[in-house]
Amino acid sequence: MLTTGFKLWFGFFVGAVLAAVFAGYTSGATETGPLSLGWKGGVGNHVSYTILVTGAGVLALLGLVAVAFRDADADAQADFLGLEEAPPAQAVVGNSLWPVFGALGLGAVGVGLVVHPAIFVIGLCLLGAVAVEWTMTNWSEKVSDDASVNAEARENLMRPIEIPVLGAVGVGILVVAVSRILLTSSVIGAVVVATVIGLAIFGLAMWISKRPELPRNTVRGVVFVGCLAVLVFGIIAAVSGEREFHHKGGG
């Protein structure tokens, strides 16, 4: 039996697919390109078509998650956790930051429509991530009346996905930020900056390794501040622009 949550997400999925097909045929698509994902004919405007198809894929995934977990049905959760009977109630939950990140994503989408397509795509990616994380958080909060059990259920499901994805994204952002800093600096300055950043990372890692008694929150705070500093300087360097490159050689 299809759940209410699945019907909601599936309806959005159908709407996104129809919007992609409409956008394709109204922007120069040929034959059955929009219907076959470009296999038979053109899809028209590639940017709008790709964005709408990607959104449809995310909505379809959310619908599958909703039906797989039976919209957090108590009996289904009991069977998933191997319990003899359903948990008696839902634990008291606190405030959530996902609405804040969702608002940032919507803001990025709006700004991207006016300023730059890259910002628009970043906003869509942020909205997709918020939708998945918020859905799974809502599911985990209804697993039982024990907050620790709920947190463990969420970590067991999402940590194998979150850690590799967030690690790859974080490393990519830091690499881009450092590259902007090096391209803005002079030739000698780039060498100095790279050396200082490398020594700082190495020294910080050594300092943390020599103090295993440090609280985990302290380590997280130090790493967060360091990453934030690199990101801020990278943004400033990107705004300032690259240095002039003089190519030698030629006729």
Q: Is the dihedral of CA 74, 77, 79, 82 positive or negative?
A: negative
Residue 80 has pLDDT above 70, yes or no: no
18 touches 47 (CB < 8 A): no
Quick one: pLDDT band at residue 56, thresholds 50, 70, 90?
very high
29 touches 42 (CB < 8 A): yes
Quick: pLDDT tens for 116-130.
Answer: 777 788 888 888 888
DSSP H or E segment with residue 5? helix 4-25
80, 85, 86, 87: CA torsion to nearest 10: -110
Quickly count: other Cβ atoms within 10 Å of residue 52's Cβ.
21
Q: Which amino acid is at 142?
A: K
For helices 216-240 and 147-184, give the axis angle rounded to 10 degrees. Answer: 30
In angstroms, rounded to a whole number, what is the distance separating the alpha carbons of residues 153 and 146?
Answer: 11
Q: Which amino acid is at 114?
A: V
127 touches 109 (CB < 8 A): yes
For the record, the structure tokens of 91 come out as 């634990």
> No. of H helices and E strands in the chain?
8, 0
Quick: pLDDT tens for 187-207.
Answer: 788 888 888 888 888 888 888
Residue 86 has pLDDT above 80, yes or no: no
In angstroms, rounded to a whole number, what is the distance separating the alpha carbons of residues 39 and 60?
Answer: 21
Quickly count: other Cβ atoms within 10 Å of residue 155's Cβ.
12
Tell me the longest C-alpha to C-alpha distance in the chain: 83
* pLDDT (0 to 100) of residue 53: 92
Closest CA to 237 of 179, 198, 160: 179
Most confidently predicted of 50-54, 117-121, 133-137, 153-157? 50-54
pTM of the model: 0.48
State the alpha helices, DSSP H only, in 116-251: 117-140, 147-184, 187-209, 216-240
CB-based burial of residue 249 (10 Å sphere; 0-12 exposed, 13-18 middle, 19+ buried)? exposed
Quickly count: other Cβ atoms within 10 Å of residue 71's Cβ.
17
